[in-house]
Amino acid sequence: MKSDIARHALHPRLVWLTAAFLALPAWAHEQQGQAAGFVSGLQHPLSGLDHVLAMVAVGLWGAQLGAPAIWLLPVTFPLVMACGGFLGLVGVPLPGVEIAIAASAMLLGAMVAAQLRPPLWLAAVAVAFFAVFHGHAHGTELPSGQSGLLYSVGFVAATGCLHATGIAIGLIHRWPQGRIALRAAGAAVAAAGVVFLWGALA
Amino acid sequence: MRRYLRTLLRAAGLALASAIAGAACAHEMRPGYLELREAEPATYALLWKRPTGGEVEIQIAPVIPDGCSFATRDRQQLTPGAVLVRGTLSCSGGLAGKTLRIDGLDITVTDVLVRIQHADGRLENHLLRPATPSVTLGAATSGLERARSYLQLGVQHILLGVDHLLFVLGLLLIVSDRWMLVKTITAFTLAHSITLAIATLGYASAPLLPLNAAIALSILFLGPEIVRAWRGETSFTIRHPWVVAFAFGLLHGFGFASGLTAMGLPRAEIPLALLLFNVGVELGQIAFVVLVILLERAFRTLEIHWPRLIEALPGYTVGSLGAYWTIQRTALLF
Amino acid sequence: MMRRPLAAIAGAALLLVPGIAHAHLLNTGLGPVYDGISHLFLSVEDLLPVAAMALLAGLNGPVAGRRALFALPAAWLAGGFAGYLVAVAILPTGITALSLLVLGILTAADRRIRPAIVTALAAALGLLHGWLNGAAIATAGREAMELIGIAGAILVVAALVSALVVSLRLSWARIAVRVAGSWIAATGLLLLGWTLSGRL
């Protein structure tokens, strides 16, 4: 009964016009199965702390390195990550995913802490390495009955937002105290990476 | 601004032409109303209001739920704008869990508001529409859900009211700057809100057919003014479009009211329904205005140069459709 | 582990097999034109490529934006009516994934593309997706008028998005568009993976 009323109240005829204030719930209702796909795609990258920390560290490092890394990164990372997801989806196995992700959190954190400035290509390869594993681990876990397209949209968007968070935090690099805080954050991520690595190996 | 808005015709004309093609001929939205009031346990006083007298006869009828039967014969009564049916319905075991359907609704473009007042004071509201012509009864609807259905009714009314949208488009084509645009749209909104309220509260009413003809005439009136503005000439309307918007807005308000008064809502419900229906109409209207202005700006950014013919199209669309409706609706008067 | 490569091969075959066009056709009760409009906004598989096309066209300046703006809905309409008449979705299911991937990568790369090529891309996108829409509408026994609503909505979306991109002057705003392109391409690549794995 409840759902009947809700269906009346949220009939799609309004959706396109009232986008500003009603669209989201209405749309979510109409496309329930699909919206669920979007939400689980959105949640997945956020479900593991190791992933979250490593992705924020990528953003921190990009901000620390400055242009062109700061904008090259958010443009290329999703694509490389999707390559990892693609490999996972077509059935190419990737060994030691958990270990690699923990190791990348450790490495990326260490880079930020040490304020290392490797050549751009080296930094790109290091980040790409992590991106492939990240995509492989998380891009493929679609709950049944949900839309793969919307899951992918949510997954990519959540990842991008984590980068943006990292970059935004990394902007404190402009100030001398901020630089120290940034290095401390890098050290914290590296320490967490060691803990994750311990867990993955044990 | 005027020059830009003229250019806007290109897009708006196109969009409108297709919308008009779809809506065939500006249906006015006149919803039906079904009320069941529980007087004694399992006995309901029925009131069914079927809108009549428009351009198209709406053939809909409620299907009595299984297990219900008429205790007293239904009495029919013809009123201006609607057929009223009253009767008493006795349902063994009450209405909960039973399915109510409106026959014929799926082939119309109208809605039916179903309102059930249970003996314990619970209120149940459903908005049935062509896509969902039936509902399972039982639960009370919250004020929020009722409010949403009135809001929805308002948005729908303006979306299907191609004649109202065309009038707003005509105003947009005439106004020459942003400040005048704000004044004109505000005047139109104010005017139609006034008459919508007056008509819904029952202080005044306008007969449906002459009203529709007058609304068509207001659109026809704008046609030559648009052409004049386009040629760079001036007139009272072009200098003070808000006055025209206000005057004709009074007329359009009666038109909007037909969406509410045909239902014959209970008095206590009218203020809420009136407010939200009006808000819905305004939302639809603002969305239309914003869309037209954004499109016009987008075309300018993309440096689109329209042929003269297409540039003049919106003005001529407004004028010729206004003329068509005027003739058609006047003919209906006789 | 043995089953996964097999599944991948089966999926690859599936990519080339005409899919059932599962469009979101719904009844708004406001007539076929409004049905078509709501269809576009509820179908991410159509809306996202349209947005990507508009971003790409906008990045390439007003001339490309203008031509794509007319080519896209016109081709969509033409493809739609053709698909409606034939009533068979003879196109592979991987079309959406490929559209997203190609348009997204081109947007992310932000290399100047000649307006003629942008127009051709818009026309191709319109024909392919329009065909799928038209076939789905015919299969569901609905009115072809819905295509008018779809094409009209596409015209509006494409005009607004590409004009917005053309008007961007700040360098970071352009990068934001490229990032959006990259997200779209990544979504396309993942979707391609889903299609190949046959798990959609």
DSSP states along C83-113: HHHH----SBTTHHHHHHHHHHHHHHHT---
pLDDT at A31 over 50: no
CB contact under 8 A, B301 and C62: yes
Q: Which residue has the higher pLDDT, B208 or C25?
A: B208
Query: Do B133 and B264 have their domain in common?
Result: no
Helices (H), chain B: 2-23, 143-160, 162-174, 178-200, 208-230, 236-239, 241-261, 270-301, 308-333
The answer, for A13 touching chain B at a CB cutoff of 8 Å, is yes
Query: Do B40 and B114 have their domain in common?
Result: yes
Rounded CA gap, B122 and B94, in Å?
13
Query: Do B175 and B319 have their domain in common?
Result: yes
The pLDDT value recorded for residue B25 is 39
Query: Do B167 and B303 have their domain in common?
Result: yes
* Planar angle of CA A160, A162, A164, nearest 5 degrees: 70
* Residues B274-294 pLDDT 10s: 889 899 999 999 999 999 999
Residues 6+ apart with CB under 8 A from C15: C92, C93, C94, C192, C195, C196
CA distance C121 to chain A (A): 21
* Residues C45-59 pLDDT 10s: 899 999 999 999 999
* pTM for this predicted structure: 0.75
Query: Do B251 and B309 have their domain in common?
Result: yes
Dihedral of the alpha carbons of A101, A102, A107, A113, in degrees to the nearest 10: 120
Query: Do B244 and B319 have their domain in common?
Result: yes
* Residues A126-137 pLDDT 10s: 888 888 888 888
Q: Where are the domains of chain A?
A: 1-30, 32-201
The pLDDT value recorded for residue A7 is 34
* Of A13, A93, A149, Cβ closest to residue C191: A149
- AA letter at B263: M
Tell me which residues of chain C, numbers 69 to 88, contact chain B at a CB-CB cutoff of 8 Å: 69
3-state secondary structure of A72: helix
The values of phi and psi at residue A147, to 5°, are: -75, 125
* Residues B165-224 pLDDT 10s: 999 999 998 988 889 999 999 999 999 999 999 988 888 878 888 888 999 999 999 998
Rounded CA gap, B239 and B243, in Å?
9
What's the pLDDT band for C101 if we cut at 50, 70, 90? Answer: very high
Residue B75, class by beta-carbon neighbours within 10 Å (0-12 exposed, 13-18 middle, 19+ buried)?
exposed
State chain B's mean pLDDT as an integer. 80
Report the range of poorest mean pLDDT among A157-166, B142-151, B296-305, B308-317: B142-151
Quote the distance between the C-alpha of residue B64 and its chain's center: 28
Indicate whether B155 belongs to any domain. no
Query: Do B183 and B230 have their domain in common?
Result: yes
Chain B residues closer than 8 Å to A5 by CB: 126, 139, 141, 145
Q: At B46, which helix (H) or strand (E)?
A: strand B43-51
Number of other CB atoms surrounding residue B322 within 10 Å: 24
CB contact under 8 A, C11 and A90: yes
Query: Do B264 and B297 have their domain in common?
Result: yes
Query: Do B22 and B42 have their domain in common?
Result: no
CB contact under 8 A, A8 and B136: no
The pLDDT value recorded for residue C77 is 95
Indicate whether B43 belongs to any domain. yes
State both tokens at B110.
């109208």
CB contact under 8 A, A15 and C38: yes
The pLDDT value recorded for residue A139 is 61
CA distance C167 to chain A (A): 21
pLDDT at B139 over 70: no
pLDDT at B10 over 60: no
Rounded CA gap, C74 and A24, in Å?
30
Indicate whether B12 belongs to any domain. yes
CA distance A29 to chain B (A): 15
The set of chains that have 3 or more CB pairs under 8 A with C is A, B
* Residues A51-68 pLDDT 10s: 888 888 888 888 888 878
Query: Do B51 and B8 have their domain in common?
Result: no
The pLDDT value recorded for residue A144 is 65
Report the range of poorest mean pLDDT among B6-10, B266-270, B291-295, C30-34: B6-10
The pLDDT value recorded for residue B195 is 92
Number of other CB atoms surrounding residue A21 within 10 Å: 9
The set of chains that have 3 or more CB pairs under 8 A with A is B, C
User: Could you tell me if the ipTM is greater than 0.85?
Assistant: no
Query: Do B190 and B326 have their domain in common?
Result: yes
The pLDDT value recorded for residue A140 is 64
SS (H, E, C) B91-127: ECCCCCCCEEEEECHHHCCCCEEEEEECCCCCEEEEE
Q: Calculate mean pLDDT across residues C186-197.
A: 87
The pLDDT value recorded for residue B55 is 61
Q: Calculate mean pLDDT across residues B72-82.
A: 73
Q: Calculate mean pLDDT across residues C83-109.
A: 87
* Of B22, B160, B303, Cβ closest to residue C62: B303
The answer, for A17 touching chain B at a CB cutoff of 8 Å, is yes
Q: Where are the domains of chain C?
A: 3-17+30-197
Query: Do B268 and B246 have their domain in common?
Result: yes
What's the domain range around B173? 2-28+161-333
Task: Name the DSSP class of B60.
Answer: -
Number of domains in chain B: 2
CB contact under 8 A, A18 and B155: yes
Length of chain C: 200
Rounded CA gap, A44 and A192, in Å?
20
Residue pairs spanning A and C at CB distance below 8 A: 125
Q: Calculate mean pLDDT across residues A191-201.
A: 84
Rounded CA gap, C149 and C142, in Å?
13
Q: Which residue has the higher pLDDT, C84 or C140?
A: C84
Indicate whether B287 belongs to any domain. yes
The pLDDT value recorded for residue B310 is 82
The pLDDT value recorded for residue B231 is 85
